[in-house]
Amino acid sequence: MINHDVFAKALLQRANDSGLAVCNLKLQKLAYYCQGYHLAVHKAALFNAPVKAWQHGPVVTGIYHEYSHFGNCHITIPTGQDFTAGLTEQALQIMDFVITKFGQIGAWTLRNQTHQEQPWLSHYDADKREADKQEITQIELTDFFNMEVANMQDATFAKILDSIDDDYISMPDTVSNADEFCAWIKSL
């Protein structure tokens, strides 16, 4: 598990290297997705800070305050320094996956997306129209992201099956015995 400050700088560097500009709102959502997917795939937290349910979705408080002076502007980080040095390959793979999957999505769209997901919804009072600002536990994250990973695997498997169906060759109705089957196979 890495320090949340190191994680944020590394994530921003990876996003920047991918040509993405990231504001604080978007950084919060990417951090949430990184933590969730890392918990689901590797059964361990990626960084050492809790994710909390704030009004605009999941937030890592320490990361939020570190970059709050950027307001709604894109966050810049110092150049010439490798913030990913020392991170595990697993951590980098999760960051790259999240950047690829969510990086092109706008900050407010990501915010709205997290508002439809169970980890944040569990902390939202619809009557008061506010989130409780409490921690979204690692158990809540793991449960949700385990389902997300399973759904992705199901979707990938379905694509594989669909591609097999595309290559499927139907046996003619005229084939009724072993000799006819052998003759038909040889004709292919």
138-187: per-residue pLDDT in tens?
999 999 999 999 888 877 667 666 666 665 677 788 888 888 877 777 77
Residue 52: phi and psi, rounded to 5, are: -115, 155
Q: What residues does each domain of the chain span? A: 4-163
Q: In this structure, are residues 178 and 160 in contact, taking their beta carbons and an 8 Å threshold?
A: no
Those residues with Cβ within 8 angstroms of residue 151's Cβ, 6 or more apart along the chain or in another chain? none
Q: What's the mean pLDDT in 17-42?
A: 96
Q: What is the H or E stretch that residue 52 is in? A: strand 51-54
